[in-house]
Every structure is written in structure tokens, then in C-alpha cells.
Amino acid sequence: MFLLIISFYFLITFQIHAQVAISEIMYDLEGSDSGREWIEIKNTSSSDIDFSEKVSGDSRWRVSKKSGNHQITPFGGGDKLSAGAFAVIALDPSKFSLDWPNFSGIIFKSSFNSLNNAGETVSIKDTLTDTIVSGITYNSDMNAAGDGKTLALIGNNFSAQNGTPGAENTGSSNVQSQNQNTNQNTDEEDISSVPKTTIEIIAKKSGLAKAPISFSSRVTDPSKNILTTGKFVWNFGNLVTKEFNQNQKVKNTYDYPGEYVAVLDYYRNASDTEPEATARLVVKISKAELQISNVVNSSPEIYNSGATEVDLSNWILTDSLKNFAIPANTIILSGKKLIFDSKITSFTNTNNFKLLYPSEEVASVWTGKIVPEIKPEAIAVVKQVTQVLEKRIEPIIETEIKSEDNIIEINEESLPSADLLKASVADSKASSNKNWFWLVGGIGLLVLIGGVFFLSKGKKDEDFKLLD
């Protein structure tokens, strides 16, 4: 319990074989960190240490992190570190020299894949004895997070100070006074209590095949600050990946129905090999069930026969001569229809409509015949003919169909004689033939009128006349 409290309020530091000790780290610089992090070490033994020494062909000394053991190789100022002397292990020595132009000490190089700004365990390992000789566990709550300061060993604990690479830390006591009884197994050091960077994918959980879906994200550091820069790597689950150095909206199109897992990895620095945070989202993709169900007066009607509503934002309606871009947030509910009025779309004298996905692939084609526009003059004529037919057809309905009030109970005594029935049937046939003549004639007249106006629909209003 005591150790957990110490690790939360200060930092875990340890040293086993008092040969090489970590004395200072720069893990989070102002601005971009890329390649600029460094670790200061001190030779706490009484003899020189040769950092060019090899073990099985590789460097004896390593920077050890969760990501692996990374070789330390001499870069500038010499190979040997004298007793009591300091050296800097830089991720990118050239960038270190730019940041610290007055530094004249020993520089070693190690590709330790950046230092995690949220916190982690960093150690120095001697591969000759296969032991950890020094290390620390830190987190961003201990300060020195992007403010230009370093974490420096002062007394038995690390605290924030202005950087002093290659020199004693302000107020520092002998580095050998570090706690030597701390657990040696630092590769598996538990830093679960360290606040972590969090990431969230913001997108709809369902969509349509061949229609793009917008994705965005929200990344916050342990202090709840929103992070907008770094490396953002998307995998949309359909073999499509995208990478950005800023947090931005991105669109992806799924060509086939199904369920896909979208994954976003966030790296604080471009050189990091392990993500600082990861998020995932399951997206269900369905087939678009839209049809052009009718066309009236150059106004197509679109029907959604699917089980869910459809957002037609950026879809395209075309007659092959012109395109109409459907406005954003145009939604057709499940089982409903939407008419695209020609007064708005400006389509005229056409029925050759296609509905296109935003990618311009064809979603639906109208194959039926156009419903002709009925002229006002024609409406007046049809109304007159209808009134005449109603007068003729009404008696037919009254004589051929009996109402329930006129139904009587039939018995043998009320039945007429056979001769009387024959005469009645003959009279009824004669009457019915006359009535059906008017009915068929009226229908034929309506068909004739419809044909005349269908053939003349292409004429302009001022050219249209009714002949007596």
C-alpha cells in the first residue's frame, strides 16, 4: 500500500546494481515531441563504463520499455562514461543538439520509440547480466508535461525542474541514495493507477451500402484537455485505412451490407510505434431499398420500402441532361414516399429519371411511362361528359342492383308462373341491352377524349383548342 501511495504522489525509482542510474528525463516538450525526448544517466560506479561493449553482437546496454529493449549506441563525445559522469540518451541526437546548443557532453542514441506523455515505466538494462539496473515509473500528473521542464532526481524522488542535461540537478543528492529495495521486475510495472488518454469515435452506428458515413473523434489527455494533433490512424473494417496528423472528420463508404468494426488508434507522436489510446465502433450497413415509384408532370416520386429511414444527403437525381443534388438532411421515412417537385428541381418534359448514390452509382431507374399532364380545358370537358354519363348510368344501377330494403322472403306461393317468368326475362333483356349501350358508349367516349389529350400533350397551352 505504501508503495502505491508513493507511486501516485511522486514517482517510482529504483536501482539494483548502482552502475548506471537514470537521473533526469525529458518526456513531454513544449510543442511537438517528435524525436526530441531524452534520458540522462549517471555512472554511479567507481570505474568507467564502456557503452561500445557488445553482447552477442549487439549493444550490452539497453533502454527497456513495455515496447521492448532498445539498444544504446555511442553518438558523440566518446564511448566511455567516467565514474560520476553524466550522459544523455537521445531519441534523435540531431534534434537534441538543436534544443540544447550549449551541451558539450556525451550523447548516446537509442530508438526507444518516444516516451509516453501520459506515463509509463522506463529502465536501463544490462544484457550481460540480464538485469534492470535503474528505472522509473512516471505519469503526467507529476508535472513537466509540455511546460519545458524535466523530471529530475532530487533526493530520493523525481520532481519538475528546468532541464540540466549533463550536470547535477538542482538540490540533488548523491544518485546512489535511490531506494535500492524496490521491486526489480519493472518491465511489468503496474501503472493502472496512472490517468490515461481517452478516445471516442463519433459516428452513426448504421448506414447504407454505397453511401458514405462520416466519422470523427474526440481525444482527451489525463487532464481532460482536448488533443487535436498527433497521429490518427483509422481502420474502417473493410480493408480501408487512413492516417492524419490532425483530428478531422473523415468519410468512408461500405460497398456491401454487413457489420464492420471501425478502429481508431491515437499516437501522441508520429514516431511512436504503440498507440496511446484506441477506440472501436461496430457499424451495421444495410442495402438501400429505394425506388422511383412514379413520375407526374416531370416530378419523380421516390419510395422507401426499407425498414429504416434513409438520409438522401448529397444523393443525385438526374434525367441524363441535368443533375439535381439532393440537399443535406433530406430524409425519407420507412414505408413513405417523397415527391421531388419539378418547380424546385427544374426538370421539364422528361421521364428519364435515375436516382444516384453520392458516388454517382445508379440506385434506381424509372422504367414506367410518364403520367401526362391534364390541361385545364380538358378538365372542363371531362367534367361535362361525366355529368351526362351520371344521368344515364344512375338508372342502370337502380334497376340492376336491389337495395336491402327491397329484399323479400320468397316462398312457393309467391313464385310467378313459368309463362310469366319467360315474358319478364325477355323484357329485362331488352331493357338491359339499352342501358348497357349507354354505359359502354360513355366509357368509349372517355377513352377517346383521353387519347386526344395524350396525343396533344406536347403542344403549348396557346396552341391547344377544343373543336366543336
pLDDT in tens, 413-438: 545 555 554 555 455 455 555 555 66
For residue 254, give the C-alpha cell.
461500405
Note whether 20-162 and 198-286 share their fold. yes
For residue 156, give the C-alpha cell.
530520493
For residue 194, give the nearest of 69, 29, 12 by alpha carbon: 12
Coarse DSSP helix, strand, coil percentages of the chain, rounded to the nearest 5 percent: 20, 35, 45
- State the pLDDT at residue 9: 40
Decide which of 306 and 354 is more confident: 354
- State the pLDDT at residue 10: 41
- State the pLDDT at residue 235: 96
Annotated domain spans of the chain? 20-162, 198-286, 290-365
Torsion 444-450-453-458 (CA) sign: negative
Angle between helices 376-400 and 418-455 (to 10 degrees): 170
Q: What is the overall mean pLDDT for the chain?
A: 77
CATH T-level fold of 20-162 = Immunoglobulin-like (2.60.40)
Q: What is the pTM of this model?
A: 0.39
292 bridge partner residues: 302
For residue 147, give the C-alpha cell.
511546460
Task: Report the CATH architecture of 198-286.
Answer: Sandwich (2.60)
Average pLDDT over residues 373-393: 55
Contact 11, 120 (CB under 8 A): no
Query: What Rg, from alpha-carbon coordinates, does the chain have?
Result: 43
- State the pLDDT at residue 66: 84
For residue 170, give the C-alpha cell.
538542482
Q: Find the angle CA(283)-CA(287)-CA(288) to the nearest 5 degrees.
A: 115
